[in-house]
């Protein structure tokens, strides 16, 4: 099991992906993208999206056009998708073990979010789950030239935090994100490698520490 307490000693900053890492957004995104892609006259199944969860908007639309042989009105698709997501952002839930890690490390090390999502959606998601207050910086696809697996998002987050990339650790859930962390020269923790028992232990440990500190 990952010893989360060692992070404050082994690294100078912690960077978190958002969707699928901090918060469980795939079901909400699947519905939103289905609404957006329906403008093309081609239905999108939830299973199709879930196999590609974590892709940036542009990359996902590239895949849809290629596989369904359509040309999307991208501006309309994005507007519809984002509107649908924001209308249902109240259904987004935090990933408990990772959110507990954030709360445990709050104030101990600088932290950032580096997400391939739009600033509009990432901000609404973090605020809706009460997690925004814990982060010193939030970097989104709107702030960089290239999406994951390019290292741009993580390098920008490290620069804004003022920490060398090699002294940052990344929490990620997607292959693209893990590859981006490697290209940025950062250590990475794949949250999918934590089984449910480990996640529960991690959450309970962090919450217990906070309770002791409060007294």
Distance CA 155, CA 152 (A): 5
Q: What is the gyration radius of the CA atoms in the chain, in angstroms?
A: 17
- Which of 3, 17, 31, 152 is catalytic? The answer is 17
Tokens of 38: 């329906």
Contact 70, 64 (CB under 8 A): yes
Residue 10 annotated as catalytic: no
- Cα distances from 188 to residues 80, 166, 171, in angstroms, run 34, 11, 6
Contact 195, 41 (CB under 8 A): no
**Residues known to be catalytic:** 17
């Amino acid at each position: 099991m990952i010893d989360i307490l060692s992070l404050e000693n082994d690294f100078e900053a912690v960077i978190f992906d958002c969707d699928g890492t901090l918060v469980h957004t795939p079901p909400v995104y699947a519905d939103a993208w289905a609404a957006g892609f329906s403008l093309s006259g081609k239905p999108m199944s939830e299973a199709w999206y879930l196999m590609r969860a974590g892709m940036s908007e542009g990359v996902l639309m590239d895949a849809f056009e290629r596989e369904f042989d359509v040309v999307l009105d991208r501006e309309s698709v994005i507007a519809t998708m984002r509107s649908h997501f924001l209308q249902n952002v109240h259904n987004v839930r935090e990933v408990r073990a990772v959110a507990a890690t954030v709360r445990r490390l709050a104030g101990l090390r600088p932290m950032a979010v580096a997400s391939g999502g739009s600033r509009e959606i990432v901000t609404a998601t973090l605020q809706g789950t009460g997690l925004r207050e814990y982060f010193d910086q939030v970097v989104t696809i709107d702030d960089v030239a290239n999406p994951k697996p390019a290292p741009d998002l993580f390098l920008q987050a490290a620069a804004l935090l003022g920490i060398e990339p090699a002294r940052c650790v990344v929490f990620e859930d997607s292959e693209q994100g893990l590859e981006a962390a490697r290209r940025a020269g950062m250590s990475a923790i794949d949250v999918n490698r934590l089984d449910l028992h480990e996640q529960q232990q991690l959450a309970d440990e962090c919450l217990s520490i906070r309770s002791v500190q409060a007294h």
